[in-house]
Structure 1
Amino acid sequence: MSSESLVDSLAEHLLDQVVRGEIAVDEALPSEAELAVQAGVSRLTVREAVKVLRTKNIVRVKRGRGTYVNAADRWTDLEPVLRAVGRGAGAGTTALAVVEVRRMIEAGAAELCAARRTEADLALLAAHVAEMDEAAAAGDAAAFARADDAFHEAVLRSCGNAFVPAVCGPLDRLLPHVRTRAAAFAPVRENAQKHHRHILAEVTAGSPAAARGAMEAHMDQTATDLLHYVVDRMGEAPR
């Protein structure tokens, strides 16, 4: 195994221990020497693996005292945060938390999109709505979820601010199995189709405030549908 693979493997192992609570928040990692012996690797490999966690703010170094675990709300990489939150809350409840964040960002993105979209942007959004309609008619939940995701990505990219898709894009790609599971229910697909058409209509009309409201309404409906069709049916207790 290459040295780079060893570093990644050890970093992943340490992250797993943190996510499972085997190394608690504010608890120190074992020393560099101890980790090297435990993993059967060099101290340099340990140092580089810990550096990977430090770059994501999963751990912090206290000079002369050791390396300590940070709380998940201080981490800067979404995937580890998702794993940590999901372990305690369940996939459906985690998806609800993601929708809350998406609502805050995507409502503003829809507002900007309505003010800045081009004819090419409108054509792409309309194409994704058509794809959703085709998938719904065929009862293809996976294809429906993909078209839904593509519509939202197009809104983000049409708002004329490169920071928006960079920040929100990864959120849209989280928990695809949960979105596909929700899309398996006809009422969920019908609600999504209605709201996406409304968003498209307001963006096409060039009405920023109305587009924002349409996206907020869509996200509210998405949260309601997730709660009813996914969280409740998975037996989770939403926070």
Structure 2
Amino acid sequence: MARKSLVGEVADDLLDRIVGSEFPPGALVPGELELSAQHQVSRMTVREAMKTLEAQRILSVQRGRGTFVNPVEQWNSLDAVLRAASAAVGNDVAAVQLIELRRMLETGACALAAQRVTPEDLDRLRGCLDDMRANHERGGLDEFVAADLAFHDVILEASGNVFLTAVFQPLHRVLAARRAETSKVPEIQRHAIAMHERVLAALETADPRAAREAMDEHMTQTLEDLMTFIQHKAGL
């Protein structure tokens, strides 16, 4: 994994302190001089890190007063919001809420895709499934996760709704990290393959209701796997 830049390290550390309630919403964060001394970096590095968090609406600059933390509802970085939610309610609750969001978005996308899917889309879905099966057998976790995510991407594209694709795009980094965690469990991989097979079969019928139900079953299985293999194992 590539090493973070100094700007990224400073921004990430400050976000950790915000998420950890050292600087709650409305709080004034330290200035450039103080942060540069703490991190032993230049003021320019700190300034760029602050601009990064400002662009994500995590921070806001009030001229003549300083830089303040915005309420989480104003943040536009899904990754940052997930970190804040995980800290506030716990990783297990945040993971469940993420699946709830996916259920709302992806069942509708699948119903739309059933009406608009092309033979080429179906071939791509079959290819993703083949990759999932092959990497499940050979133990290629990263490749399995990539094929899993690609399967869902094809469905979003096949829905023909550009707004759905745009709304879902910020979820990718978060979903990749979550899939890498859950897909370490071979049984979860087997369930994922079976659920993807059902979704593909429903899309092949071009029946929106069947496609919606198949994706809903997939989300239910994902939630059950989370409860059984991840949270139960961790004693949550």
Q: TM-score by structure 2 length?
A: 0.81
**Deviates further, 206-215 or 172-181:** 172-181
RMSD between aligned alpha carbons?
2.8
User: What does residue 182 of structure 2 align with?
Assistant: 182
Contact 1:156/1:169, CA 8 A, preserved across alignment: no
Checking the alignment, whether the CA contact within 8 Å between 1:157 and 1:165 is kept in structure 2 is yes
- CA deviation after TM superposition for structure 1 residue 157, in Å: 1.9
Q: Tell me whether 136-145 or 37-46 shows the greater mean CA deviation.
A: 37-46
Structure 2 Cα separation of the partners of residues 29 and 177 of structure 1? 29
Match of 2:130 in 1: 130
Contact 1:102 1:171 in 2 (8 A): no
* TM-score (norm: length of structure 1): 0.80
Structure 1 contact 178–230 (Cα < 8 Å) conserved: no
* Correspondence 1:57-96 to 2 at 5 A: 57-62=57-62, 64-96=64-96
Q: Does 1:217 align with 2:220?
A: no
Of residues 105-114 and 177-186 in structure 1, the stretch that sits farther from structure 2 once superposed is 177-186
Secondary structure at the aligned position of 2:67 is classed as: strand
Identity, % of aligned pairs?
Answer: 39
Question: Quick one: which amino acid aligns to residue 154 of structure 1?
Answer: V
Shift of 1:17: 2.1
Superposed CA deviations along residues 179-213 of structure 1, whole A, max 9, x for unmatched, are 24433444423332222122112212211222122
Paired residue total: 232
Distance 1:136 1:174 in 2: 22
Task: Within 5 Å, give how 1:147-158 maps onto structure 2.
Answer: 147-158=147-158
Q: CA separation of 1:142/1:91 partners in 2, compared to 1, >3 Å: closer, same or farther?
A: farther
Q: Whose relative contact order is higher, 1 or 2, with alpha carbons under 8 Å and at least 6 apart?
A: 1
Listed as ranges, the gaps of 5+ residues in structure 1 are: none
Residues 1:44 and 1:183: Cα distance change in structure 2 (over 3 Å): closer
Deviation, structure 1 residue 128 = 1.2
